[in-house]
Amino acid sequence: MRMVDIIEKKRDGHELSKAEIDFFVEGYTNDDIPDYQMSSLLMAIYFNGMNEEESSRLTEALLESGETIDLSSIEGKKVDKHSTGGVGDKTTLVLGPLVAACGAKFAKLSGRGLGHTGGTLDKLESIEGFNISLSTESFLDQVNDIGIAIAGQTASLAPADKALYALRDVTGTVPSIPLIASSIMSKKLASGADVIVLDVKIGEGAFMKTLDDARELSRLMVRIGKDFGKKVTCFITDMSQPLGFAVGNKLEVIEAMQTLQGNGPDDLQRLCTEIGAYLLQGAELAEDIETARKMIQESQETLKASDVFKEMVERQGGKMPDLNEFIKTEGIIAVKSEAEGNVQKVNALDIGLSAMRLGAGRTKKDDAIDYDVGLVLNKKVGDKVEHDDVLAYVYNNKEDITEELKTILGAFTITKEHVERPPLIVDIIEE
């Protein structure tokens, strides 16, 4: 078999066989196929796509390129959730303890943030002593004991995907739906969960920009999950404005802890409740979605979910923060409105990039993070605004952030017209 023949076949719009897909995945992983040939094939896939069978074959090849996590020693059905990335997205910190408090086994491998989107591991590591590098034995034991563990992904999971993604990133082939679907699903399947909910973000602050593309991606990932015997549901959710109010690592931890006690923002609360309900029903812990919602609400009212979060932090070496002393910044600056009316838009991308430049995120993988900085929004889409009302509070440790304050102010669009609050959950895609 020759790589050039595979390139030409896909260039001409034909379906690739399992043997051909296995050949180029294995060959590239082993450095037998050069970057220039793989780049050519990726571009051919970008323009001509892959059908559902090809996407499943590619997922399987990526999955088999490395190790898989064996969760069979964990009692009951294992649940997991993945987000395509957003601004202020601290869902995992809330969702995991909520469903664990209801009896689910939440075994989660997470990643770090890059660019304008934050990472779950960065938020957890803002807690003093929190250890994300668990051994397999410790990870499994903890999930069995308290229902939840959140740890870092290992390099041994789907290494072919890591190599291909790095090449896609520099060859303009990242926005390919079959490649995205195979990349996400290979890692989720390697993580071993039985029930998976995928949160596909759309809007300016998200990777997917249109609803049609998000639906196409979701349907494909649900189909791939079915091919592998997994229960997969995709939520398509709005990321045209940040989720919740807090953007920044420690700030988001605080908001997550407040939400676990039933005192969080409405949008974050609703999203965690709905995703959690689908996970509980999928794990056969609730007969229907409404029953599952009530279970989640009860776990907050009784503070059981909050206790699970505390137990997870302590089991993973962390010290539960005193919220009055958790944030350490040089100053908090209020960004005030220069207009009056109603908030028509809060540009999530601009907010996320500003938080990153303040130090809350990375432009390169080895950048250091300032866990204390970020923003807390005071107004969101649909809110009424008077002149000089505070739009956001900026937590800062830099000397001069004049330009960032202008960017944050410019992220808010104020109109005299009435503005309806946008729907958070746009669609739910199931089998």
Structure token pair of residue 313: 């932090």
Q: Is the pLDDT of residue 397 over 70?
A: yes
Average pLDDT, the chain: 95
Task: Of 416, 87, 427, give the one whose Cα is nearest residue 233.
Answer: 427
Q: Which of 183, 186, 299, 354 is catalytic?
A: 183
Pair (30, 156) in one structural domain: no
CA-to-CA dists, residue 15 to 12, 36, 51, angstroms: 9, 21, 8
Q: Of 161, 238, 370, 372, which one is the catalytic site residue?
A: 161
Does the annotation mark 161 as catalytic? yes
Longest dimension (CA), the chain: 69
- Together in a domain, 310 and 337: no
pLDDT for 115: 67
- Domain annotation covers residue 56: no
Structure tokens at 292: 């599952």
- Asked whether the CA dihedral 248, 253, 254, 259 is positive or negative, the reply is positive
Q: Is 71 a domain residue?
A: no
Q: Are residues 251 and 294 in the same domain?
A: yes
Q: Has residue 293 been placed in a domain?
A: yes
pLDDT bin (cut points 50, 70, 90) of residue 363 is confident
Which of 82, 116, 201, 250 is flagged as catalytic?
Answer: 82
Catalytic residue (choose from 57, 90, 116, 168):
168
Domain count for the chain, please give it: 3
Active-site residue 388, yes or no? no
Q: Which residue among 267, 283, 315 closes a domain?
A: 315
Instruction: Give catalytic status of residue 183 as yes or no.
Output: yes
Query: Are 57 and 85 spatial neighbours (Cβ–Cβ below 8 Å)?
Result: no
Instruction: Identify whether residues 376 and 262 lie together within a single domain.
Output: no
CA count, 13 A, side-chain hemisphere, 169: 8
On whether both 396 and 260 belong to a single domain, the answer is no
Above 90 in pLDDT, residue 85?
A: no
How confident is the model at residue 205, as a pLDDT?
Answer: 81
Task: Please say if 133 is a catalytic residue.
Answer: no
What percent of the chain clears pLDDT 70, i.e. is strictly above it? 99
**Is 425 domain-assigned?**
no
Examine the residue annotation and report whether 168 is marked as an active-site residue of this protein: yes
Q: What is the domain extent for residue 10?
A: 3-49
**CATH code of the domain covering residue 352:** 3.90.1170.30
pLDDT at residue 365, as a whole number: 72
Is the pLDDT confidence value at 2 over 90?
yes
The percent of residues in the chain predicted with pLDDT above 90, rounded, is 87
Please pick, among 116, 187, 215, 379, the residue that the annotation labels catalytic: 187
What whole-number distance in Å separates Cα of residue 362 and Cα of residue 393? 21
How far apart are alpha carbons 27 and 324 in whole angstroms? 54
Tell me: pLDDT of 67 over 80. Answer: yes
Task: Output 204 or 144, whichever has higher pLDDT.
Answer: 144
pLDDT per residue over 156-213, tens digit each? 888 999 899 889 988 999 889 999 999 999 999 999 999 999 999 999 888 888 999 9
Residue range 64-87: average pLDDT? 93
